[in-house]
Structure 1
Amino acid sequence: MKTSNKLKIFNDPIYGFIRIPNALIFDLIADPYFQRLRRISQMGLSYLVYPGAHHTRFHHALGCMYLMQKSIQVLRFKGVEITEAEEEGLLCAILLHDIGHGPFSHAMEHSIVEGVSHEFISLQFMHELNGRFNGSLTEAISIFTGNHEKKFLNQLVSSQLDMDRLDYLKRDSFYTGVAEGNTNAERLITMLNVVEGDLVIEEKGIYSVEKFLMARRFMYWQVYLHKTAVVAERLLISILKRARFLIERGDSLNSSEALHFFLTNHIDINNFNNETLAKFARLDDIDILAALKEWQYSDDFVLASLCEMIINRKLLHIKVKKEPTAESKFLMQLNKVKNQYNLTDEDASYFVFKGELKNKAYDRQHQTINILRKNGKITDVAKLSDHLNLNALSKTVTKYYMCYPKEGV
């Protein structure tokens, strides 16, 4: 393993100075796999709605590491044993937890590869880096996969109140300017504790937890599931689908070598090997944007129109309602596009489509957020809260949308 004494600091707009704690973390950050995250948008195409949302997965990963450092300090102060090896494992696990994201983050997760989650790809990157760094990530992999004997270590990385969520809510709120998402991450971390191996929040932090859950709900409706961001993401997915169809038909499309590989090969979890990982590591937002800029001049009407919509932000109209769209209204819009541009049903479906949006701020069926009461009892926050009805936040809210051209394609 290469070593370095350049234990630098990053100046982060959210937390101020973030210190790199040791040479291993420094070398992981310096690795090309991690540097790629500078070219992966944290919020996909949300900048089409919120112009400031240009921050990257690189920003987010460093922020998560900073919060993990704070959490370790707090828990050790309260007598929770975290060894030096476990500390390094935690920092590496949270630093690399999103390294498997593809271009524009979630938008591409099931377009470039089929049924392969970013968590799975992150783990493949970790195994590859573990070999490169002489087994230094073995502890981190154990924590990331939930196989470590200390359950709370995994909960710090992946749970309903983990460092990932604490950072992205605060960070996305900052860069979008949506103040409702701003949470007091440091206050929540100060309230952390461990009881019988599980992560808990001390009772005096209950109002901070309530605000965190409400902020999560607001951010999903106002930002992550914003109707304009939804239609842009759907268009991006459709572009990749159309490009793949045209290539299979024998058409020639210019793209980067890495993108061409994923358009011409059907990659799923069964054939995602080391060669695929190396190709995936070469993909980032630039590949997709360059392709869109090129393809907007394609001879194919569907592909050219879809690309131009994103490049020039002339998106489809989207209607979001509490009830599913009537089939008659859907067919009316579909036939209108078909007749206007002499398209087949399949081609018209790229411009007229519908779907669902689901929002659940608190998943009580997964891992509950447990409150350590003053009498020593552990209680689910939804049962203990008297300020807000958190039971309502644990129910899935579903909305329905339909997209279609505003006037002409």
Structure 2
Amino acid sequence: MENKDWNVLYHSRQKKVEEAISSIQSNQKVFLAPFCNEPQTLVEELVRQKDRLHNVDLYNVIIGSPCLYADPSCYEHFNIRTFLSSSHLKGAFLNGTCDYLPLNLSEIPRFIEVEKVDIALIQVSPPNEKGYCNLGLSVDVVQTLIKEANIVIAEVNSQLPITFGDTFVHVSEIDEFVISNRPLITIGGGVPSNVEMAIGRYVAELIPDHATIQVGLGKIADSIIASLKNKKGIGIHSGSITDSVLELIELGVVTNEYKEINRYKTVCTTLTGTEKLYHYCHENPNIELYPTNYTHNAAIIAQISNFHSINSALEVDLFGQINAEQVGNYTMAGVGGQMDFIRGARLSKGGKAIIALPSTAKKGTESRIKIKIPFVTTIKSEVDYVVTEYGIASLFGKSLKERAKELITIAHPDFREQLYIDFERAFL
């Protein structure tokens, strides 16, 4: 498309936010761009117009969003359908106006193709000289949304970084544009506790030089990354990268030189951090973002030798089954990419699947290692190691009795004797 043609098209499709959101009607399916790329100007206007809307299904994948649509005033207007939950949704869950879809992140693009989304609300950069906008912070499922949704409304935010990978979209693929210039959603890392740092050190023992890693989010993840500072030639192929990953890059620990694919590139689907991270990734060809059906695809991950997936959990049973989603009737997180990366690690030559978690919950009054767990995210045959602040449980190739012994050994000392007694009663 000639420069003058796309420019005319771009300006003709610009709308005031009130007019753009008026395209949304009751009983429609609306999908919000995930993670820190959720378009806040569009969301704020959607909430303002809630009184004219009923039975609107809102699909989201939450990291960092304030979830304005989960306010009690929105209960009778929106049905929230989330793939990755947040504490902001608890009230909507309890009210019955939020439901959880347990789907691997790699499969959400396929879900979108089947589900027939009416409206996609996304965020992009202003177009470049050839008419291409950039997805900036996150690619995730947005390329599929752009192709499949009936109407695509984009918030054009000049503060988005320009990133590389599969991040560009032409203005001709977007139906309406709303211009904004506002700060991006950021997530800062906290200071890991002594328990979390101990977990990080144990996990680091399992990571050899030249390995490629995937690490989740949170203080345990940050402690693991901080414990890798003496490693060499580490690669990154992950769901997200954070400020702590940036530190490893700047130290020369992350080089990506031993990866068989995307060599010398740090690969993720989303950036989850502060302005420092976003600024570093702006126009940086060494950082590449791709959709989840690439980053989380086990067949892709299997091409990388020594791939180590490192994820967390809420609780583990004595056979090694993992619950990373739910406590009681409340979904705290989601399947996310845990099973995607575990499958990839198991198919990778020299790969390992690692679960890291504190030994206790509720200020030390409850063991996270239990006889039984009510919800299973990852089955026992898929996990190689479980790590707590008390050490490493090696599960691969172990019998049920051997697994129980390994896991009791890394439980908190206050609960070990009772775990062993309960295990004998229940299974021996």
Range class of TM-score, shorter chain: under 0.3
Structure with greater strand percent: 2
TM score, norm. by length of structure 2: 0.27
Q: Which has the higher contact order (CA 8 A, sep 6+)?
A: 1
